[in-house]
Amino acid sequence: MREFAFTVEYDSGADRLMDVFLAYPELAAKTVTCSVTADSIWRVDRLTGPTDAIEAVESPFLDPDHCNECLHDGFCQVTQEYEVLSGDSTKRTIYAYQTDIEDCHSIPYLTAEHLGDGLLYEALRRRGRHEWRILMREDSAVGELYDVLQSSLREGLTLSLRHLGEPTHWCDEAVTAADLSYEQRRALEAAVEYGYYETPRSVSAEELAGLLEIPRSTLQYRLRRAEAWLAQGFVDERL
């Protein structure tokens, strides 16, 4: 098996859905499962972020007339069904089912069309980036697929290859940005960015809390929760 990892970057104004992710940097959407056949796609996505971001992203994400993974300007002929499986003010888990697919340039459909069945997909949207990993058979014609994806790009989109080779962490419980609450993720990322975990520390807890404009006690609580989650995931992965 091989892994094909690539990123599609979106300029502001190039895509209605991705514009929401650009406007809300703390918003993230993870594709947790995706299955594709010659005429259907079904998937589950997990979205997490501040309440206003979740409210802003739900409408374009669930728009049946918008292809969330299409790279070209044309309309994707497809029948789509959506259902919100669970969620609250800061997260949603959404099931999608697409059938009667014709003349579609979505990334999963193009991939299945050129590489065949038996593929596994993982994708993460954040800010203006849509990062993909695809697990495929060793003899898959990935060069042909990459050329097709590149030729399908509309104005304002950029495709870049990240990795082609040995598969990475497909069989473990991978740590993902969408699995952590956005408050804890923000605190953890800021702690790394400003050197809170360096030795010696570049920033104190008090200073970091000030940068995030939250009380020190709140910061420490969020970091402890995030650290506990990371530690549990590390241990569970090896059991």
173 within some domain: no
Q: How many Å apart are CA 235 and CA 239, to the nearest integer?
A: 7
pTM of the model: 0.78
| Within a domain: 175 | no
Do 199 and 137 lie in a common domain?
no
108 and 45 both lie in a single domain = yes
- SS3 assignment, position 234: helix
Residue 20 sits in the same domain as residue 119: yes
Asked if residue 54 belongs to a domain, the reply is yes
- Claim to verify: residue 151 and residue 209 sit in the same structural domain: no
Per-residue pLDDT for 28 more than 90? yes
Q: Is residue 168 part of a domain?
A: no
Instruction: Answer yes or no: is 132 within a domain.
Output: yes
Are residues 190 and 223 located together in one domain of the fold?
yes
Query: Same domain for 44 and 114?
Result: yes
Are residues 195 and 101 both part of a single domain? no
Phi, psi at 32, each rounded to 5°: -90, -20
**CB-CB neighbours of 218 under 10 Å:** 13
139 contacts: CB under 8 Å, gap ≥ 6: none
Per-residue pLDDT, 173: 47
Domain hosting 53: range is 2-163
Comparing 172 with 1, which gets the higher pLDDT? 1
- Confirm whether 59 is domain-assigned: yes
Order of strands, sheet of 40-48, starting from the edge strand that comes earlier in the sequence: 77-88, 91-102, 40-48, 28-36, 120-126, 129-136, 2-10, 157-165
CA distance 48 to 177: 9
**How many CB atoms within 10 Å of residue 77?**
11
How do residues 134-190 score in pLDDT, each as one tens digit? 998 888 888 999 999 998 899 999 999 998 988 876 755 445 556 678 899 899 999
Structural domains in the chain (count):
2
Residues 40 and 127 in one domain: yes
Q: Are residue 199 and residue 83 in the same domain, yes or no?
A: no
The pLDDT tens digits of the residues spanning 92-110 come to 999 999 888 777 788 988 8
